[in-house]
Amino acid sequence: MSKGYSCVGLFNPKTPENVGSVMRAAGCYGVNSVFYTGTRYDLAKKFCTDTKNVYQDIPLIGVQDLKDIIPHDCVPVAVDLIEGAKPLPDYKHPKRAFYIFGPEDNTLKKEITDFCRETIYVPTTGCMNLAAAVNVILYDRMAKGDNFSNHK
């Protein structure tokens, strides 16, 4: 089974704890790179909780606009608890995916969801922590594998 290719985009993440935990998840699930926008993380990154130092193996790159850095042939997928989003249990992941997550204290802007091919959400009661959502999406991608996914 080929694991495909996946990247994570973080729109204006707020806390270094969540970004550190996202990096740890990226290492656990074979993510190729992580991009982020905004300045809040830059101000707080000295407090990073990437306890496995995954940043040494997986690039964590600050960018101006996530739309401008969609990796070649990747399908941009917004992850947000908004109306019209597809529930994760029914979702087939693309072979090459760029998952974009909103900040801990807000939602993705329409300008982001508009350029994403799909928007998915994790069915929960209330919203999840950013790092928890990243872990769930990446685990689902791995767990579905070739049987329930497009990433063969």
Please write the tens of the pLDDT for every residue from 62-92. 899 999 999 999 999 999 988 899 999 999 9
CB contact at 8 A, 91 and 123: no
Tokens of 80: 């947000």
Single pTM value for the model: 0.87
Q: What is the rounded CA–CA span in Å between residue 133 and residue 140?
A: 11
Angle, vertex CA 12, rays to CA 10 and CA 16, nearest 5: 80
- pLDDT for residue 73: 93
Tokens of 87: 């529930």
CB contact at 8 A, 41 and 16: yes
Please write the tens of the pLDDT for every residue from 9-44. 999 998 888 888 898 899 999 999 999 998 766 555
Which residue(s) pair with 61 in the sheet?
35
Residue entry with tokens 């204006």 = 12
User: How high does pLDDT run on average in the chain?
Assistant: 86
- pLDDT for residue 152: 47
The helix-helix angle for 130-144 and 16-28 (nearest 10°) equals 10
